Amino acid sequence: MGSTAPDPAFNATDTAWLQLMIPMTEHMADALALAADHSDDPGLRGLAAAVLIEHRAELDRLRALRVAAGLPDTDVHAGHRMPGMVTAADLIVLRADHGAEFDRHLRPLLDEHLAQSGVLATGELANGQQQGVKSLARAIERNRSQERERLRALH
């Protein structure tokens, strides 16, 4: 899909945040979806299922804001290795792993993702402009903090 003219209500922080959070959230959702069949840990499976539901709801809002901002639906971060971003290589490993090995790989990926997306949400709140984006960033910041607490409680 193409894009329309950029909406001036969205500043550079808003658009950069949307363009990063969408692939970060999509890739983690792909990883979390594997937990139901690959994890041996009922606590981790439950957390992964809950975080997956949140991520899917957040993706709906992120994508709607991307459209409202007039941004293209391309992944400008494709192929980039960055904190909190699950890579194609990570997904290959996760798809091959089961049981304790899967859990051993998913936990640090999830923790890093939750931490980094929380940091990014804080940055959006400090420097963003568009109120819908800031509202979502506030919700994500809160969700990630709660999800990290739940993950840490599993150890």
Which pLDDT does position 80 carry in this prediction? 63
At 80-124, the pLDDT tens digits run 678 899 999 999 999 999 999 999 999 999 999 999 999 999 999
Which pLDDT does position 83 carry in this prediction? 85
**Is residue 41 included in any domain, yes or no?**
yes
**Is residue 76 included in any domain, yes or no?**
no
* Integer Cα distance of 88 and 79 in angstroms: 8
Which of 153 and 5 is assigned the larger pLDDT? 153
Q: Is 67 exposed, middle or buried (0-12, 13-18, 19+ CB in 10 A)?
A: middle
Q: How confident is the model at residue 47 (pLDDT cuts 50, 70, 90)?
A: very high
Are 30 and 94 in contact by the 8 Å Cβ rule? The answer is: no
**Is residue 29 included in any domain, yes or no?**
yes
Provide the domain limits for residue 134.
12-71+84-153
**Is residue 78 included in any domain, yes or no?**
no
The rounded radius of gyration (Å) of the Cα atoms in the chain is 16
19: CATH? 1.20.1260.10
Which pLDDT does position 78 carry in this prediction? 63
Give the chain's domain count.
Answer: 1
Which of 104 and 78 is assigned the larger pLDDT? 104
**Is residue 1 included in any domain, yes or no?**
no
Task: Give the least confident one: 23-27, 50-54, 81-85, 134-138.
Answer: 81-85
* Integer Cα distance of 24 and 13 in angstroms: 16
**Is residue 98 included in any domain, yes or no?**
yes
Q: What is the pTM of this model?
A: 0.90
Which pLDDT does position 74 carry in this prediction? 79
